[in-house]
Amino acid sequence: MNPPDSPREACGVFAISAPGEAVARLSFFALYALQHRGQEAAGIVTCDGRTAHVHKGMGLVSQVFTEENLAPMTGHLAIGHTRYSTTGSQRLRNAQPHVIETMDGPLALAHNGNLINAPQLRRELLERGIGLSSSSDSEVMLHLLAGAGGPGVDWLTRIRVLMARAEGAYTLVLLTREGVYGVRDPWGLRPLALGELEDGSFCLASESCAFAPIGARMVREIGAGEVVRIDADGRYQVHQGAAPRQPAFCTFEQIYFARPDSVLAGRQVHRTRQALGRQLAREAPQPGADLVIAVPDSGTPHAIGYAQEAGIPFSEGLIKSRYIGRTFIEPTTALRQARVAMKFNPLPGNLSGRRVVLVDDSIVRGTTSGPLVQLLRKAGALEVHVRVACPAIRHPCFMGVDMASHDELIAATHSVEEICRHIGADSLAYLTIEGMMAALTSDDELGGDLGTVPDDMVGGYCNACFTGQYPFESVPVELGRKDVFDGVLADADQEAAAAAPVGLRP
């Protein structure tokens, strides 16, 4: 199946220090809840203060881990990772966490993000006579940490050295002999949250949805530039690792990436998405419509919000297949529409004779929207009005999201009218940037315990994919760096074939 027409996220991380607990098992359940942030590979490292144990593999968390391989992973410290490749390569040796030996014992690192100055950092390491065995940012950061200061220098100091040098998006978790660390870059591009277990020890996760399955409660979100250390006793301290920069939290975490039950910027994501949908209804109403439906599943919260605000009934118009697996079987010419019909099943009983508002969370390449509109019409819909709960995406991302290249972004090269014609809709409207920011930052009538947006998030978003204004002074001309390196070292390891991920996010 073609890649879904959605941006793709680059990883989930988790860290825990909990004396007396089965930390590998807790990490497993936490990673299971972070599965939506990466389905290519998964890994866990544990440490008992002296010895590090690692298990990694290709595939879903549930495929990688078994009772047998979790059992020997002893210790009270652990970090974990779920990976979605930003480069398209599927290799076990790129699976994280990465682990090395240093003069101060084992050091493990797991990473969500992308360094935009990695080429310079690589060159410096190579010039210091260090050979690099992979194309990953993680190896670069491990060597920077291992070589910062000298033997015996404490890890917090080393992390500060790294943060002074690294530019880009990076939410990190680290494991050392004496504790685990969480690091959020000074721009706050990728999320990180602190949780407290029932026994009073602490953990860190990319999203708060990882806390419930392990019986933990959310304490707070980690701020831009902060470093959290959880020591061997499970107690935490927060340090400022680098001065925060202009805050630039990724808007797409709110719109699409995060799980609806996670809390981001102080509010549950499902409610934020309803707020976006309501704002969309205010900006782009469709008075005579009979029915609001979503592009499931990611567009459903926005559609519910739209329907509520517009006072139009919400129902299901498209059912999404739950057993997609991945298939590479090509349909015959006669079946050109089979692809989208395999994934989305229209409900003529609900659609026939209706004027329909179809709410989607975003449009990237525009490859899905056209076939969906056709499916709805064929199922009897009289009119199909497409509403998109974010602005038009016109610029690529260099901060760890695999959106598409500039030329692949339909809104980079087409006007809204052209796109509307292209997808065959009766009307098409995107949310405005202003409306989106209003919905993201102002409290609304649904407010409650989980509804207060912190002041520092007002306006503190990275909207580069909509505006082209990146949070960094110098933006890479191209993303080709990795290709250059892959040109130098084309790995054909059989590992790639070992396990294909299934059940990719629909």
Residues recognised as catalytic: 11
Angle at 107 between CA 104 and CA 110, to 5 degrees: 160
What is the size of the binding site for a second copy (CB under 8 A)? 130
Q: Of 8, 55, 160, 184, which one interacts with a second copy (CB under 8 A)?
A: 55
Q: How far apart are CA 146 and CA 431, in angstroms?
A: 46
Q: Of 6, 39, 114, 136, which one interacts with a second copy (CB under 8 A)?
A: 39
Closest distance between a second copy and the C-beta of residue 99, in Å? 6
CB atoms < 10 A from the CB of 264, how many? 23
* Cβ atoms of 70 and 17 closer than 8 Å: no
Q: How far apart are CA 330 and CA 120, in angstroms?
A: 43
Is residue 223 at the binding interface for a second copy, with CB under 8 A as the rule?
Answer: no
Is residue 120 at the binding interface for a second copy, with CB under 8 A as the rule?
Answer: no
Q: How far apart are CA 265 and CA 454, in angstroms?
A: 6
Closest distance between a second copy and the C-beta of residue 67, in Å? 6
Q: Of 156, 212, 382, 416, which one interacts with a second copy (CB under 8 A)?
A: 212
Q: Which residue is associated with the tokens 């052209």?
A: 418
Do β-strands 179-184 and 226-231 pair in parallel, antiparallel, or remain unpaired?
A: antiparallel
Q: Of 326, 406, 434, 455, which one interacts with a second copy (CB under 8 A)?
A: 326
Among 179-187, 205-213, 434-442, 457-465, the segment contacting a second copy (CB under 8 A): 205-213
Is residue 259 at the binding interface for a second copy, with CB under 8 A as the rule?
Answer: yes
Closest distance between a second copy and the C-beta of residue 112, in Å? 17
Q: How far apart are CA 159 and CA 123, in angstroms?
A: 20
- Residue 14: phi and psi, rounded to 5, are -150, 145
Closest distance between a second copy and the C-beta of residue 371, in Å? 12
Among 323-331, 363-371, 415-423, 424-432, the segment contacting a second copy (CB under 8 A): 323-331
Cβ closer to a second copy: 454 or 506? 506
Residues of span 383-442 touching a second copy by CB under 8 A: none
- Residue 398: phi and psi, rounded to 5, are -110, 10
Is residue 267 at the binding interface for a second copy, with CB under 8 A as the rule?
Answer: yes
Looking at residue 443, its amino acid is D
Q: Of 4, 19, 29, 231, which one interacts with a second copy (CB under 8 A)?
A: 29
Closest distance between a second copy and the C-beta of residue 462, in Å? 24
Q: Which residue is associated with the tokens 């100055």?
A: 117
Q: Of 200, 311, 313, 468, which one interacts with a second copy (CB under 8 A)?
A: 313
Token pair for 419:
């796109």
Q: Which residue is associated with the tokens 């978003």?
A: 461
